């Protein structure tokens, strides 16, 4: 069992670095605040922001996160308003 776990960890480590995007590729980075509401079911989504910023074809990555203030807002509003922050990386036009 230990050998299986070690082999899986090694495969994830090697595969993860080999399959990762090129980190040195020049890109535009933009950060947005997502105004989500209705128990996180309505409002601007990550794909909306990515399509608007990258024109649909230059997308490199999209990352979303919530900080402590976002979580506090969600708790105070009982989940009705759930803001988030999104970072969009777009490849530079060639």
What total of structural domains would you count in the chain? 1
Tell me the pTM: 0.62
Spatial distance between the Cα atoms of 64 and 61, rounded to a whole number of angstroms: 10
Q: Is residue 85 part of a domain?
A: yes
Identify whether 32 is part of a domain: yes
Give the mean model confidence (pLDDT) for residues 6-12: 53
Asked if the structure places residue 4 within a domain, the reply is no
Q: Per the domain annotation, does 9 fall within a domain?
A: no
The predicted-structure confidence for 12-44, as pLDDT tens digits, reads as follows 544 444 444 555 567 789 898 998 888 888 988
Of 65 and 7, which is predicted with more confidence? 65
pLDDT in tens, 63-83: 999 999 999 999 999 999 999
Does a structural domain hold residue 75? yes
- Residue 59 in any domain: the answer is yes
Q: Give every CB contact of residue 93 below 8 A, 6+ residues apart in sequence.
A: 58
**Is position 8 within any domain?**
no
State the residue range of the domain holding 54: 25-91
Q: Is 3 contained in some domain?
A: no
């Amino acid at each position: 069992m230990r050998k299986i776990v070690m082999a899986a960890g090694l495969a994830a480590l090697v595969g993860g670095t080999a399959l990762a995007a090129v980190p040195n590729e020049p890109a535009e980075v933009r950060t947005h605040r997502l105004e989500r509401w209705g128990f996180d079911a309505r409002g601007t989504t990550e794909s909306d922001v990515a399509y608007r910023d990258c024109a649909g074809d230059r997308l490199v990555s999209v990352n979303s996160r919530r900080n402590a203030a976002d979580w506090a807002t969600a708790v105070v509003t009982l989940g009705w308003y759930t803001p988030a922050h999104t970072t969009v990386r777009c490849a530079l036009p060639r």
